[in-house]
Amino acid sequence: TRHLLGIKDLTEDDIQLIFETAGNFKDVLNRPIKKVPSLRDITIANVFFENSTRTRLSFELAEKRLSADVVNFAASSSSVSKGETLIDTVNNILAMKVDMIVMRHPYPGAGVFLSRHVDAQLVNAGDGAHEHPTQALLDAFSIRERYGDVAGRKIAIIGDILHSRVALSNILCLRKLGAEVMVCGPTTLIPKYISSLGVKVTYNLLEALQWCDVANMLRIQLERQDIAYFPSLREYSMLYGLNKQLLDSLDKEITIMHPGPINRGVEITTDVADSHHSIILDQVENGVAIRMAVLYLLAGKRG
Ligand code: CP
């Protein structure tokens, strides 16, 4: 495929090639001159229908490090507010000779829908509660960097699994790479189908922590919940919040991840988020190299 719409479309070999390419770009990013000319004939539009800090900025940085021309579109300050449709919006951007669209959208499947109606290469930067492929790639790359390999590692994904595109893309990516995955959270936030993806399920945080090498702590996605949240944030934090006391009770060291943005004091306390166990800012750093790799490899598939 000439798009990156989800991890579901990638093979293990595709993912390993992205990692090798990202590793080379990470070396470039550590040099005094961080820029390469690879995409200097390409124009990319970052089209964001939903708020973002990490994904939007790291795509833009990745594009600039690759010497692409970049334009940014935020739906909230655009003619979408006058009723312009998604297809019209993107076709108008493409008419200005844009080659690639990086899109974040609140609706699951928005990228797949668009791929059927416009003639451009698309990268999914998060579509509702569906997929967030570059997040899963940077997460798995960060685990590989920490442990040398992802295969055989035990990863617990803890929190709001039901509303999380990060959870689904991570599960698909980690399973393709041969990791063991356990999801943990309240019964109300773990969908019934999840075990069909080859993951273990627990509703007990301590059990997940005792089992895993890596705990990926997810945020409660209040913006995607259409009913009053159950359990309450206070109950959630008491039952599923990661704190230093819990970490210290384990007979081993585990690695702590979080895709951001963090709700400090809800799913994770500040002392844990900022401790030496945490690779949260390494994940963010790796996001630029992973997005450079994805854009570079997709540019090589231009029709
Ligand atoms: N992890 C992540 O997608 O963060 P943003 O929503 O800030 O891009």
What's the pLDDT band for 194 if we cut at 50, 70, 90?
very high
Lowest mean pLDDT among 10-24, 112-126, 221-235, 257-271: 221-235
2 carries a ligand binding annotation: no
Statement: residue 189 has pLDDT above 60? yes
Statement: residue 227 has pLDDT above 60? no
- Going by CA atoms, what residue is nearest to atom 6 of ligand 1? 52
Closest atom of ligand 1 to CA, residue 259 = 1
* 181 vs 31: CA distance, rounded Å: 35
Statement: residue 248 has pLDDT above 90? yes
Q: Tell which wins on pLDDT, 233 or 114.
A: 114
Average pLDDT, rounded, for the chain:
96
108 carries a ligand binding annotation: no
- What is the sign, positive or negative, of the torsion defined by CA atoms of 127, 78, 262, 286? positive
Mutate to test the pocket of ligand 1, among 53, 262, 283, 288 (most ligand atoms within 8 A of CB): 53
Task: Render pLDDT for 22-57 as a digit per residue (tens, 0 to 9).
Answer: 999 999 999 999 999 999 999 999 999 999 999 999
pTM: 0.97
What's the pLDDT band for 67 if we cut at 50, 70, 90?
very high
User: Residue 231, preceding bond cis, omega within 30 degrees?
Assistant: yes
- Going by CA atoms, what residue is nearest to atom 3 of ligand 1? 55
224 carries a ligand binding annotation: no
What's the pLDDT band for 298 if we cut at 50, 70, 90?
very high
Q: How many residues does the chain have?
A: 303
107: tokens are 């609706």
Q: Minimal CA–CA distance to 166: which of 239, 240, 257, 75?
A: 257
What's the pLDDT band for 199 if we cut at 50, 70, 90?
very high
54 carries a ligand binding annotation: yes
- Provide Rg for the chain, Cα atoms: 19
Residues 229-246 have a mean pLDDT of 90
What's the pLDDT band for 1 if we cut at 50, 70, 90?
confident
Q: Pick 7-131+284-299's CATH classification: 1.10.3720.10, 3.30.300.30, 3.40.50.2000, 3.40.50.1370.
A: 3.40.50.1370
Location of structure tokens 């895993």: 212
Residues 277-302 have a mean pLDDT of 97
The CATH 3.40.50.1370 portion of the chain extends over 7-131+284-299, 133-280
- Ligand 1 centre distance from Cα of residue 224 (Å): 15
Closest atom of ligand 1 to CA, residue 53 = 7
pLDDT at 180: 98
Residues 75-104 have a mean pLDDT of 96
- Ligand 1 centre distance from Cα of residue 260 (Å): 6
What's the pLDDT band for 229 if we cut at 50, 70, 90?
low
| Ligand 1 site residues, Cβ closer than 6 angstroms | 52-55, 126, 135, 259-261
pLDDT at 151: 98
* 1 vs 60: CA distance, rounded Å: 23
- Ligand 1 centre distance from Cα of residue 282 (Å): 14
ipTM confidence: 0.98
144 carries a ligand binding annotation: no
What's the pLDDT band for 302 if we cut at 50, 70, 90?
confident
Mutate to test the pocket of ligand 1, among 47, 48, 51, 52 (most ligand atoms within 8 A of CB): 52
260 carries a ligand binding annotation: yes
Displacement of CA 77 from its chain's centroid (Å): 25
pLDDT at 233: 86
pLDDT at 225: 66
Give Cβ neighbours of residue 104 (< 8 Å, ≥ 6 apart): 47, 48, 49, 50, 52, 55, 56, 125, 126, 127
Note whether 52 and 106 are within 8 A (CB). Answer: no
Whether CATH 3.40.50.1220 fits 133-280 = no
